[in-house]
Amino acid sequence: MMAQFPGVGDTLPPATLTAPDGSPLDLSHYAGRKLVLFFYPKDDTPGCTTENIDFSALADDFAQASTALLGISKDPPAKHLKFIAKHGLTAPLASDAASAGLSDALGIWTEKSMYGRSYMGMVRSTYLIGADGRIARVWSPVKVKGHAAEVLTAAQAL
């Protein structure tokens, strides 16, 4: 039997992530607000850098749409700090390094394969959460080009 992961209409499982400064970041902090969670594989890789720069460039537009942003990977907080500083990112980041964390609960931390080698990795995915706490839209897997703008349009319409 396949595991059932949260989808459109469901609420997110409770989760505490780690902010770049090492402090805990509980998703309940965003209760009552629209929220975009964009999960990406790894800091400072080409696609992930482009995605983070694109969301950062639109951060003010998301704020005008009353929508919070949060980029999430399994990278440790110290790596996030370097990534933010290197690229001038303004979209907040968080680490989901705990085993059985949020990305595991959503089914997007999964076994991948490259060059015949299997490894665990993040499926690039984005979740738009409504102010009611329910998942309004899911993009998975994500193609980076134009994605942040598409998510902004969906957030504005929500």
Question: In this predicted structure, what is the pLDDT of residue 1?
Answer: 44
Question: In this predicted structure, what is the pLDDT of residue 98?
Answer: 81
- Taking the C-alpha atoms of residue 95 and residue 76, their distance in angstroms, rounded to an integer, is 6
- Taking the C-alpha atoms of residue 22 and residue 12, their distance in angstroms, rounded to an integer, is 23
Active-site annotation holds for 48: yes
Of these residues, 48, 89, 93, 122, which one is catalytic? 48
In a 10 Å sphere around its CB, with 0-12 CB exposed, 13-18 middle and 19+ buried, how is residue 81 labelled?
middle
First CA to last CA across the chain, in angstroms? 34
Could you say which architecture CATH assigns to the domain 18-157? 3-Layer(aba) Sandwich (3.40)
Per the prediction, the chain carries an average pLDDT of 93
Question: In this predicted structure, what is the pLDDT of residue 6?
Answer: 86
Q: Which two tokens stand for residue 95?
A: 């680490």
Of 1, 78, 8, 5, the closest CA to residue 44 belongs to 78
Model confidence over 79-117: pLDDT tens digits? Answer: 999 999 999 999 999 999 887 899 999 999 998 888 999
Domain ranges of the chain: 18-157
Question: In this predicted structure, what is the pLDDT of residue 3?
Answer: 56
State which residues of the chain have pLDDT below 50.
1-2
